[in-house]
Amino acid sequence: MHTQRLLILPLRICLLLAISLSVGCASGGKIRSDYDHDADFGSYRTYNFIADSGAGDGKYQSFFAKYMVEAITIEMEKRGYVKSDNPDLLVNFSGILQEKTKVTTTPAPMAGGYYGYRGSRYGAWGGYGYATETNVSQYTEGTFNIDLVDRARKQLVWEAVGVGRVSDKDLENLRESVMKGVPRYFALYPFRAGDPIPVPTK
Residue-level pLDDT at 146 = 95
- For the stretch 147-159, pLDDT in tens is 999 999 999 999 9
Buried b (16+ CB within 10 A) or exposed e, 31-66: bebebeeebebeebbbbbbeeebbbbeeeeebebbb
Residue-level pLDDT at 159 = 96
Residue-level pLDDT at 34 = 96
Residue 36 has pLDDT above 50, yes or no: yes
Give strand pairing partners of 104: 135
Given pLDDT bands bounded at 50, 70 and 90, which one contains residue 25?
very low
**What's the CATH code, domain 4-102+140-186?**
3.30.160.670
Q: Hey, is 190 helix, strand or coil?
A: coil
101-107 average pLDDT score: 67
Residue-level pLDDT at 59 = 45
Given pLDDT bands bounded at 50, 70 and 90, which one contains residue 51?
confident
pTM: 0.69
Given pLDDT bands bounded at 50, 70 and 90, which one contains residue 58?
very low
Helix (H) or strand (E) holding 31, with range, is strand 30-35
Nearest in space to 143 (alpha carbons), one of 110, 87, 95: 95
Domain boundaries, given as residue ranges, for the chain: 4-102+140-186
Taking residue 94's Cβ as centre, other Cβ atoms within 10 Å add up to 16
Q: How far apart are CA 200 and CA 100, in angstroms?
A: 36
Given pLDDT bands bounded at 50, 70 and 90, which one contains residue 95?
low
Residue 56 has pLDDT above 50, yes or no: no
Q: How far apart are CA 64 and CA 82, in angstroms?
A: 23
Buried b (16+ CB within 10 A) or exposed e, 132-144: eeeeeeeebbbbb
Give the range among 17-26, 61-70, 129-138 with minimum mean pLDDT. Answer: 17-26
Residue 85 has pLDDT above 80, yes or no: yes
